[in-house]
């Protein structure tokens, strides 16, 4: 699907019939493209010349009328190209794929043959690429770019190679059942290590139903299996893919103490939600429940009721909350009716889950942001858990907000939308206050458990008394020792990964900065490199300052890596682990560490926000927050809200089991309202205080906001685009009621991933009017010939950095 803003009209030849929601292949300029049928009419509108569609790709529509309408709404509201919206909605491999392959041109062949002849200009290192192609015949663009990064561009430029595009049919991958041909080979039979692993994985029974699972556990590929087949050791038999077997969940995740009796608050809320569900009318309910108040149990029972009514249910969770424990609860309750949709699935798995939902085999979908597009029919309830979480906002085109799209989806399906959180976003709570959403409350923890006691540790005081700046205060140190003595578990939150924040030269004051972004590089000890957290650039650690050659380079600030090391030194006999994105990136580590922590194989867990949200560890009775104020200094109007949410969520991890919990919050700003009110776990007071600031400064939710960024790889390019944007926006401010424009100014991240960025913030008293302004801006930019990548339009931005 192409990134078009407008829809196109095509003729349908008599030999085809099409329905809205089907994919078709159409000619687009000089190539072929995939399109979605929006409407099928009986005649062309007058004056329209149209080309014919080439083929119909689906036997039945892949998008229901409801999802088509949702897609159009997203394209319209978020000012996103409709083609990109549909592409985001369909996680499907198209049946046809465009492939590009490279072969030698006549010129390239001459070049290769003539290299040894006199008078020929030397071909340099490109000759390797040419002879590689000559022996292989052809290769993919991707492979060549990888093998010959510079030479490939040269060869292209000099026309020694040609790139050919062609359509390739995607073959539906076959699934095989695997069986040992004879008895398990004796130990002394000579086998390759991979063959041994496959045979071992086949187990005593000597069979596997799905070769993909077998290969996964044997860490082998299909080629290895084929070799075993060729040698006659195993037999393969095509098997019908009867849907994936339900994911295996370790026993430790299965909830044993599921409360059979709801608290009275839970029953009241459930009764109310059930009534809404049965009314078959669209309604949005904000469920504000403190941490540990049993929201999940309410969701599960509501979904069960929804299924009884013959309708389907969708639940969205933030990426990091989709832990085995949540999956286990869904699988225990709803078994094979559950489909999972999240980014950790392989393309094949996602494809299969999608079709199980589409065919009606799965009636409950649990997934992350894009699962909001799950092709469920007859939707009864859409639940968005931890609705305040920033991972619901997509930070690339289409820049939709999963929570807000979920509400629109519920409206289109006449379903119930439930937004749940212990720390609702200001937007949602404001909607509840204004009467747009219903408010439901779970003010207490289940089983009469108390919220954790929170104590603030004033780090200014600590510094005055100890004259050293250390990440761990004496108070926190003492508490951890007491925990360890009692055999209790502790979590330490520090929302900054890496070893130190940056490397500072004490002589000239310079920090080492990213070459692509306007930020300092973070030191990572494991890799012993300086790294950029935005673009992934990394550099060796200099021994002397590159600016002034001084040797006085200092590591400033503490990251999780440094604090982990510190704790390992302080408590050498204690089992310490760390969980942040650096660790989670390593295969399987995220779930392994969470699982071990839950099984109490780890005493002290240090981590970023990854550990703060949504998890339930009954053994944790102390949570320590190091540098609680880390986010407060960010130039973003949501920084206080984010800090409040993070601290409240972190505090919510303590005392979820039988023993009560305590929280220590270390900060240099003990009087800041976000920190003080999070310590009191007083959401209402925080909301009122923060709303005063938003009202005064005209920020959401009081006004609608859009972030428009003009960008370019050169500053002049960005400035050129910004000038066009300004030409359009600035007169508009005078003519339009309730519109205010800030900018152009350099964005807080003035350079990001190699692009210079100039920012406009547009505030408007009406969301609908703002959305219209942005659409007109996009049209204007198209007329001015501004490429789409040079102009970022972000409606309801989640951050304005």
Q: Which positions lie near Zn ion, rule CB under 5 A?
A: 505, 507-508, 514, 516-517, 532, 534-535, 537, 545, 547-548, 550
Quote the tokens at residue 284. Answer: 């949005």
Strand 662-667 to strand 453-458: parallel, antiparallel, or no bridges (unpaired)? parallel
CB 414 within 8 Å of CB 283: no
> Is the Cβ of residue 510 or residue 736 nearer to Zn ion in the bound state?
510
648-to-130, 454, 665 alpha-carbon distances in Å: 61, 10, 11
The values of phi and psi at residue 252, to 5°, are: -60, -20
Q: What is the smallest separation between the CB atom of 505 and Zn ion, expressed in angstroms?
A: 3
Residues sharing a CB contact under 8 Å with residue 663, sequence separation 6 or more, in sequence order: 452, 453, 454, 455, 622, 623, 624, 625, 650, 651, 654, 679
Q: What is the smallest separation between the CB atom of 554 and Zn ion, expressed in angstroms?
A: 11
> Is the Cβ of residue 166 or residue 554 nearer to Zn ion in the bound state?
554
Q: What is the smallest separation between the CB atom of 392 and Zn ion, expressed in angstroms?
A: 25
Residues sharing a CB contact under 8 Å with residue 388, sequence separation 6 or more, in sequence order: 421, 423, 424, 425, 428, 645
Q: SS3 for 434?
A: coil
Q: SS3 for 714?
A: coil
Q: What is the smallest separation between the CB atom of 563 and Zn ion, expressed in angstroms?
A: 24
Among 630, 633, 658, 661, residue whose Cα is nearest residue 646: 630
> Is the Cβ of residue 537 or residue 699 nearer to Zn ion in the bound state?
537
Q: What is the smallest separation between the CB atom of 522 and Zn ion, expressed in angstroms?
A: 10
> Is the Cβ of residue 618 or residue 754 nearer to Zn ion in the bound state?
754
> Is the Cβ of residue 94 or residue 516 nearer to Zn ion in the bound state?
516
> Is the Cβ of residue 247 or residue 546 nearer to Zn ion in the bound state?
546
> Is the Cβ of residue 542 or residue 726 nearer to Zn ion in the bound state?
542
Q: What is the smallest separation between the CB atom of 534 and Zn ion, expressed in angstroms?
A: 5
Residues sharing a CB contact under 8 Å with residue 485, sequence separation 6 or more, in sequence order: none
Q: What is the smallest separation between the CB atom of 546 and Zn ion, expressed in angstroms?
A: 8
Which residues are bridge partners to 504 per DSSP? 511, 554
Give the angle 39-43-49 at the CA atoms, nearest 5°.
Answer: 95
Q: What is the smallest separation between the CB atom of 520 and Zn ion, expressed in angstroms?
A: 10
Q: What is the smallest separation between the CB atom of 746 and Zn ion, expressed in angstroms?
A: 16
Q: What is the smallest separation between the CB atom of 153 and Zn ion, expressed in angstroms?
A: 23
Residues sharing a CB contact under 8 Å with residue 83, sequence separation 6 or more, in sequence order: 1, 2, 3, 4, 35
> Is the Cβ of residue 243 or residue 754 nearer to Zn ion in the bound state?
754
> What sign does the dihedral 19-20-24-27 (CA atoms) show?
positive
Quote the tokens at residue 657. Answer: 């089991």
Q: What is the smallest separation between the CB atom of 195 and Zn ion, expressed in angstroms?
A: 45
Q: What is the smallest separation between the CB atom of 513 and Zn ion, expressed in angstroms?
A: 9
CB 343 within 8 Å of CB 273: no
Q: What is the smallest separation between the CB atom of 504 and Zn ion, expressed in angstroms?
A: 9
CB 178 within 8 Å of CB 184: no
User: Judging by beta carbons within 10 Å of its beta carbon (0-12, 13-18, 19+), is residue 32 exposed, middle or buried?
Assistant: middle
Q: What is the smallest separation between the CB atom of 237 and Zn ion, expressed in angstroms?
A: 51
> Is the Cβ of residue 545 or residue 761 nearer to Zn ion in the bound state?
545
Among 538, 517, 536, residue whose Cα is nearest residue 749: 517
How long, in residues, is the chain?
801
Report d(CA 352, CA 330) in Å as an integer: 19
> Is the Cβ of residue 262 or residue 535 nearer to Zn ion in the bound state?
535
> Is the Cβ of residue 507 or residue 639 nearer to Zn ion in the bound state?
507
> Is the Cβ of residue 36 or residue 709 nearer to Zn ion in the bound state?
709
> Is the Cβ of residue 469 or residue 550 nearer to Zn ion in the bound state?
550
> Is the Cβ of residue 322 or residue 530 nearer to Zn ion in the bound state?
530
Among 765, 645, 644, residue whose Cα is nearest residue 702: 765
Reduced 3-state DSSP string for 42-66: CCCCCCCCCCECCEECCCCCCCCHH
Q: What is the smallest separation between the CB atom of 497 and Zn ion, expressed in angstroms?
A: 15
Report d(CA 623, CA 607) in Å as an integer: 11
DSSP for 258-306, written as a single string: --SS--HHHHHHHHHHHHHHHTT--EEEEEEE-TTS-HHHHHHHHHHHH
> Is the Cβ of residue 437 or residue 537 nearer to Zn ion in the bound state?
537
DSSP for 469-528, written as a single string: --SS-HHHHHHHHHHHHTT-EEEEE----SSBSEEEETTT--B-B-SSSSSBPEEETTTT
Q: What is the smallest separation between the CB atom of 548 and Zn ion, expressed in angstroms?
A: 3
> What sign does the dihedral 155-157-158-164 (CA atoms) show?
positive
> Is the Cβ of residue 532 or residue 741 nearer to Zn ion in the bound state?
532
Chain centroid to CA 339: 18
Residue holding tokens 């306007």? 518
Quote the tokens at residue 417. Answer: 């939308």
State the virtual CA torsion across 357, 413, 56, 370 in degrees, nearest 10: -60
Among 499, 504, 498, residue whose Cα is nearest residue 554: 504
> Is the Cβ of residue 316 or residue 752 nearer to Zn ion in the bound state?
752
Q: What is the smallest separation between the CB atom of 566 and Zn ion, expressed in angstroms?
A: 27
Report d(CA 544, CA 121) in Å as an integer: 44
Q: What is the smallest separation between the CB atom of 749 and Zn ion, expressed in angstroms?
A: 9
> Is the Cβ of residue 667 or residue 711 nearer to Zn ion in the bound state?
711
């Amino acid at each position: 699907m192409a990134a078009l803003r407008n829809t196109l009209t095509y003729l349908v030849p008599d030999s085809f019939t099409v329905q809205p929601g089907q994919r078709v292949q159409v000619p687009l300029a000089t190539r072929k493209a995939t399109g979605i049928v929006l409407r099928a009419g009986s005649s062309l509108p007058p004056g329209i010349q149209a080309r014919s569609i080439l083929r119909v790709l689906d036997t039945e529509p892949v998008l229901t009328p409801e999802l088509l309408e949702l897609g159009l709404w997203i394209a319209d509201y978020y000012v996103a190209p409709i083609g990109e919206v549909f592409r985001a909605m369909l996680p499907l491999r198209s049946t046809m794929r465009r492939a590009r392959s490279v072969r030698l041109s006549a010129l390239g062949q001459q070049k290769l043959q003539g290299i040894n002849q006199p008078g020929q200009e030397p071909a340099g290192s490109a000759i390797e690429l040419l002879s590689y192609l000559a022996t292989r015949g052809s290769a993919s663009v991707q492979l060549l770019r990888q093998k010959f990064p510079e030479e490939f561009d040269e060869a292209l430029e000099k026309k020694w190679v040609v790139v050919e595009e062609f359509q390739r049919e995607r073959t539906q991958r076959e699934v095989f059942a695997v069986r040992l041909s004879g008895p398990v080979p004796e130990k002394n039979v000579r086998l390759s290590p991979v063959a041994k692993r496959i045979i071992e994985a086949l187990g005593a029974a000597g069979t596997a139903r799905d070769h993909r699972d077998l290969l996964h556990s044997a860490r082998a590929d299909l080629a290895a299996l084929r070799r075993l087949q060729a040698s006659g050791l195993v037999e393969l038999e095509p098997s019908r893919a009867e849907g994936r077997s339900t994911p295996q969940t370790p026993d430790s995740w299965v909830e044993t103490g599921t409360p059979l009796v709801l608290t009275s608050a839970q029953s009241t809320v459930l009764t109310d939600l059930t009534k809404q569900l049965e009314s078959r009318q669209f309604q949005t309910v904000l469920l504000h429940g403190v941490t540990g108040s049993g929201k999940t149990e309410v969701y599960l029972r509501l979904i069960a009721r929804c299924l009884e009514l013959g309708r389907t249910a969708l639940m969205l969770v933030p990426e990091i909350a989709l832990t085995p424990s949540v999956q286990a609860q869904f699988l225990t309750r709803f078994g094979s009716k559950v489909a999972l949709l999240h980014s950790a699935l392989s393309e094949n798995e996602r494809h299969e889950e999608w079709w199980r939902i589409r065919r009606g085999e799965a009636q409950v979908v649990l997934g992350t942001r894009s699962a909001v597009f799950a092709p469920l029919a007859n939707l009864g309830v859409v639940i968005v858990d931890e609705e305040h979480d920033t991972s619901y906002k997509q930070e690339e085109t289409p820049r939709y907000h999963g929570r807000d799209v979920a509400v629109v989806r519920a409206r289109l399906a006449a379903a119930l939308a439930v937004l749940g959180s212990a720390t609702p976003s200001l937007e949602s709570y404001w909607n509840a206050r204004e009467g747009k959403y219903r408010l439901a409350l779970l003010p207490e923890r289940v089983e009469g458990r108390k919220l954790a006691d929170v104590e603030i540790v004033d780090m200014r005081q600590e510094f005055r008394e100890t004259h050293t700046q250390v990440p761990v205060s004496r108070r926190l140190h003492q508490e951890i020792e007491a925990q360890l003595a009692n055999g209790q578990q502790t979590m330490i939150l520090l929302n900054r990964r890496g070893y130190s924040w940056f490397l500072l030269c004490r002589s000239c004051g310079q920090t080492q900065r990213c070459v692509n972004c306007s930020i300092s590089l973070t030191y990572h000890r494991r890799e012993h490199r300086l790294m950029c957290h935005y673009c992934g650039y990394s550099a060796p650690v200099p021994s002397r300052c590159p600016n002034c050659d001084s040797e006085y380079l200092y590591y400033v600030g503490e990251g999780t890596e440094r604090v982990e090391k510190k704790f390992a030194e302080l408590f050498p006999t204690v089992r310490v682990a760390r969980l942040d994105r650096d660790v989670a990136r390593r295969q399987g580590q995220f779930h392994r560490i969470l699982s071990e922590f839950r099984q109490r194989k780890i005493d002290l867990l240090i981590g970023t926000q990854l550990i703060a949200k949504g998890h339930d560890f009954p053994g944790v009775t102390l949570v320590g927050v190091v540098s609680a104020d880390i986010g407060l200094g960010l130039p973003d109007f949501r920084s206080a809200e984010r800090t409040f949410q993070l601290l409240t969520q972190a505090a919510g991890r303590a005392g979820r089991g039988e023993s009560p919990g305590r929280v220590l919050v270390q900060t240099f700003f003990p009087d800041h309202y976000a920190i003080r009110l999070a310590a009191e776990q007083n959401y209402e007071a925080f909301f009122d205080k923060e709303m005063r600031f938003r009202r005064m400064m005209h920020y959401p939710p009081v006004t609608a906001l859009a972030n428009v960024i003009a960008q370019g790889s050169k500053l002049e390019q960005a400035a050129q685009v910004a000038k066009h944007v300004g030409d359009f926006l600035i007169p508009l401010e005078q003519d339009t009621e309730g519109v205010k424009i800030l900018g152009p100014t350099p964005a807080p991240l003035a350079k990001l991933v190699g692009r210079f960025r100039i920012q406009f913030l547009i505030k408007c008293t009406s969301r609908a009017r703002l959305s219209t302004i942005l659409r007109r801006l996009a049209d204007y930019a198209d007329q001015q010939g501004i490429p789409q990548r040079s102009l970022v339009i972000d409606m309801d931005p989640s951050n304005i950095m």
